[in-house]
Amino acid sequence: MKANPPFGDDRDRKALIHALRSGEIAAIATDHAPHSEPEKDQEWEDAPYGIASIDTAFEALYEGLVKTNLVPLEILLSALSTRPAQILGMNHGIAVGNNANLVFIKENEPHVITSRMGAKNNPYVGKNSSAKIIGLMLDGTMVYKDAQ
């Protein structure tokens, strides 16, 4: 996987988990880089940095952090949604006057992670997860609904 910054070692991973649990890290974001297959299918030095991961981030993080009891679900959800919205000064949460921007998640739904965007440069595609995004609403309009 060629990403920038590069994936760290186990010590880096433990430090990031600790910082997330303690609140030192407030938000999780992806540097979604949906490069085409020809762009990535080059010599290592010539291939662009980045992976396409925005559509699989929750499922991968849920499996690696929540399912392993390293991070409570509430902290993960806050870092992926509530805190980024607060940082950006957006209305967040379910309240009168806020936009209906919702992600519908189903826990205990074992499945193989797939890319909803068809991205091939995603290391999480093909791995197992036990939580699934089943719907997405933006400004009150359902823009994604799982086929199952």
85-122 pLDDT tens trace = 889 988 777 778 777 888 899 999 888 887 776 666 77
Is 31 assigned a catalytic role?
Answer: yes
Using DSSP's 3-state secondary structure scheme, residue 38 falls into helix
Tokens of 126: 């093909």
Domains of the chain: 10-145 (3.20.20.140)
Catalytic residue among 10, 12, 31, 146: 31
pTM: 0.81
- pLDDT tens for each residue of 4-24: 777 788 999 999 999 999 999
- pLDDT tens for each residue of 61-86: 999 999 999 999 999 999 998 899 88
